[in-house]
Chains A and B, each alone.
Chain A
Amino acid sequence: MGHILKVENENNEIFDCNFWIGNNHLNNRLSIGKEQLNKYIHYLKTEKIKPNIIISNFFSLFYEPIEGDSQLERMIKDNEELYGCLFFPNQFVSNKNEFEKYLIQKSKSGFKILKLLPKTHKYCIEPWAFSFFYSILENHHFPIMINLEELDITGNKAIKWKTIFEISKGFPELPIIIDGGNSKEMMFNNYFFQLLENSNNIFLETHNLLAFGQLEEISGSFGSGRLIMGSYYPYYPCSLSLGRVRESNMSGEDKTNILYANAAKIFGNIDI
């Protein structure tokens, strides 16, 4: 049958773990409102796919996390298809005892992931500095997502892989999702093999795993349980990351894992 074999994943439900919404002041094309979100949902439904979309808000990224995530909270409230991605508010670094309460409240409002942006939002996520927060997150099995570009310490693609490894070792029950962002380094499996081999709690969001056979190679070596689908819309078309999995030659079970089950298991384990 070859490389192109459209096989429906077994339950036709997906988690898109990296969808962006909001005004993007750098490029109008990247500004996404409810209309585009609804079009995406409609597209999925015409493909007979039940959507679960984890949304990140540009306002949280560019302006301020608490404000941006409050906006998002209003949008996702009472909507079973929509969930939120929190951005860590750096004010908790100096006010850490308020963090757990904040996390619990947001989790109950439908937030499923905490994004860490140490370079952009100016805080240190190395375990020696951030262990207080990792302990809370691990205790609640609340996953974190780290953008690889945030670990590019030189701005010249020298990624500090050791940070991810140390977080993983220090907090083995904490799910760590690596988001490639726009980083080309995500296309080099040689980096990941060592991380995946030496951990059980590191996962790769798929939108930037673009190289030939890359998903199949990771799946073949470590199982498909370490891969989680994200569209990274509006940077990439919605159908790209989804189609890459659905239309691949991987088994139905692997497709279901990547598109839905792995994320569902992580979020289902959140203990709040």
Chain B
Amino acid sequence: MKEEKTKENINDNKTDPGVFKIIDSHFHIGKYVSSTFSKLYEGSDIKVAKDLNFKKIIFIHTGFFFNLDFGLKETIKFVKKYKDFAYAMVVYNPNHIEESINIIEEHYGKNNIVGIKMHPEDHRCFITDNKYEALWKIAEAKSIPIMSHTWNPDVPSKYQKYADALLFENIVKKYPGLKVVLGHAGAKDYYYCEVIKMLKRNREKNIFVDLAGDVLYEGMLEEFVGQTGSDNILFGTDLPWMDPLLNYIYVRDAKIGIKDKENIFYENSRKLFNL
């Protein structure tokens, strides 16, 4: 007789995608020349997400990083196609401040647009640069969550230095009402340990991390939960940069409690983005 799958025995590592509800808070659509995207990708991403019991995705169109108009148009098109499933972020480009602010003012809260994405690496702009001031002001005033690409600055890719997660510490001190998600948990090669220390120094601030990307290190999630709790951790895949099955297995099989997994897979994103 087939054993009934419950959340309690999910730690037996038996596969059952129906056990946890999931929000993927870090999902990409669109093309990107320096990427892993291949001909298999487009069209199959949503199917795969639904097979894994993702109830919602929060996506960014990659074109948005390079052209605000194009990105906005494609974003709205996608959201209309998958309106009960797909939620979006608009991009703040520090090199196009006025246009970025106009888009936020006009579109946040409409068409399933639930947050703002910033990408210091792609935009080659340090997080502490004054060019982000307009973003902090509007995001704090309107309580809009911001997700930033963050990374270890000490890696071969020289532009990642712009995206050092630790730079947010001074930002949230100056703007304590900000809600910031450190994309990829600031991580690569154990930089997450520094991120954990920063979170502990700033417990009263609204700093979150997501687990998107090739940062699925042994013990990392257990360390985050053990040191900072699970309320500030969001599930994300970084699809198509990552196969979502890997991110799913990583959280499912982590040595943390069921409630922690529920928070990470679903509840934290639902509350933060008001879904």
Contacts and interface: CB of A to CB of B under 8 A. Distances in A.
Interface of A: 2-4, 6, 27, 29, 47, 152, 155-157, 182, 184, 187-190, 208, 210-217, 220, 233-240, 243-244, 247-248
A185 B36 CA distance: 9
Interface residues of B, number: 37
Given A2-B51, A216-B40, A247-B245, A234 B253 contact: no
Contacts of A188: 35-36
Given A244-B245, A244-B246, A217 B38 contact: yes
Nearest to A237: B218
Interface stretch (B65-73, B129-137, B175-183, B234-242): B234-242
A184 B52 contact: no
A236 B218 CA distance: 5
B209 to A, nearest CB: 18
B243 A214 contact: yes
B15 A247 contact: yes
Interface string B115-157: 0000000000000000000000000000000000000000011
B13 A212 contact: no
A233 B15 CA distance: 21
B218 A3 contact: no
B156 A240 contact: no
B85 interface: no
Given A4-B17, A189-B36, A217-B38, 5 more contacts: A155-B156, A212-B41, A212-B48, A214-B243, A236-B217
A9 B106 CA distance: 53
Contacts, number: 107
Contact of A189 (B15, B38, B156): B38
Interface of B: 13-15, 17, 35-36, 38, 40-41, 44-45, 47-48, 50-52, 156-158, 189-190, 214, 216-219, 239-246, 249-250, 253
Contacts of A2: 17, 47-48, 50-51
11 contacts: A3-B51, A155-B156, A187-B36, A189-B38, A190-B38, A210-B214, A212-B241, A213-B44, A235-B217, A237-B216, A243-B246
A55 B212 CA distance: 29
Given A6-B15, A29-B219, A211 B245 contact: no
Given A214-B36, A214-B243, A156 B214 contact: no
Which 8 A-B residue pairings sit nearest by Cβ, starting from the closest?
Answer: A2-B51, A212-B240, A211-B36, A3-B51, A6-B15, A243-B249, A3-B48, A4-B17
Nearest to B223: A29
Given A155-B156, A187-B241, A213 B218 contact: no
